[in-house]
């Protein structure tokens, strides 16, 4: 899943990028409000973490501009301030959730996963499609009595498929949501990892629609 982290504290930003990357997110970082607003409007993110105390343009203004531009990605706001009025204002501007600094990384991850499930219409605590059950904590997948460990890229790709069952997903769309800005984003790499998932889980797990893209599972 592609995530934008808008945070001006370099130490916190680096730590969260590393943590979220280990937990299956492709993370882009913006260190000020101007860059954050531009990135949020130019890229289709699955979820955004937005610090309200950004330099150059405050987070609340960035959020308001995103929503005025019809940007639909779920947004979790971060604030070091104790003012409940600011949290309320953030929610009224279109934020979907908030955390007050300092916070536990595990809580941030749980909230982000909940936002993604909600935005994709996924119910339940575990991601499950056609008998396949994805373990997001251990980055593995199981079906019936069988269990498979996944690499980081395999996990990100399979999770995106499972969040959009029955839909035709093009190579370019998969590339946009699986890789970060500075990654090697050759769409042919997607073919390599789809082949690896098929070799590991079965040839029929992902269906190719020639000239269109790929399909996993059936619509719920």
- Domain ranges across the chain: 2-119, 127-216
The CATH fold assigned to 127-216 is: Arc Repressor Mutant, subunit A (1.10.10)
* pLDDT value of position 139: 93
Angle between helices 84-92 and 59-68 (to 10 degrees): 20
Q: Does domain 2-119 have CATH number 3.40.50.300?
A: no
Global pTM reads 0.85
* pLDDT value of position 186: 62
Share of residues in the chain with pLDDT > 70 (%): 94
Range in 33-37, 53-57, 66-70, 176-180 with the lowest mean pLDDT: 176-180
Q: Is the pLDDT score of 162 beyond 90?
A: yes
Query: Which residue reads 């007050």 in tokens?
Result: 100
* pLDDT value of position 180: 75
Residue with the larger pLDDT of the pair 136 and 80: 136
Q: Are 143 and 162 in contact (CB under 8 A)?
A: no
């Amino acid at each position: 899943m592609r995530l934008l982290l808008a945070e001006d504290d370099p130490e916190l930003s680096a730590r969260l990028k590393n943590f979220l990357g280990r937990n299956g997110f492709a993370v882009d970082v913006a260190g000020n409000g101007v860059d954050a607003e531009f990135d949020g409007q130019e890229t289709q993110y699955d979820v955004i973490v937005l610090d309200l105390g950004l330099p150059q343009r405050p987070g609340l203004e960035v959020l308001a501009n995103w929503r005025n531009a019809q940007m639909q990605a779920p947004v979790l706001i971060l604030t070091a301030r104790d003012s409940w009025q600011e949290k309320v204002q953030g929610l009224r501007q279109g934020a979907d959730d908030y955390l007050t600094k300092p916070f536990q990384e595990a809580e941030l991850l749980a909230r982000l996963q909940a936002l993604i499930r909600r935005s994709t219409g996924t119910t339940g605590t575990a991601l499950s499609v056609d008998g396949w059950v994805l373990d997001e904590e251990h980055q593995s997948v199981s079906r019936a009595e069988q269990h498979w460990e996944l690499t980081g890229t395999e996990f990100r790709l399979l999770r995106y498929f499972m969040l959009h069952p029955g839909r035709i997903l093009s190579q370019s769309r998969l590339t946009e949501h699986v890789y970060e800005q500075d990654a090697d984003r050759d769409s042919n790499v997607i073919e390599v990892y789809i082949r690896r998932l098929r070799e590991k889980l079965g040839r029929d797990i992902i269906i190719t629609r020639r000239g269109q893209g790929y399909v996993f599972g059936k619509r719920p």
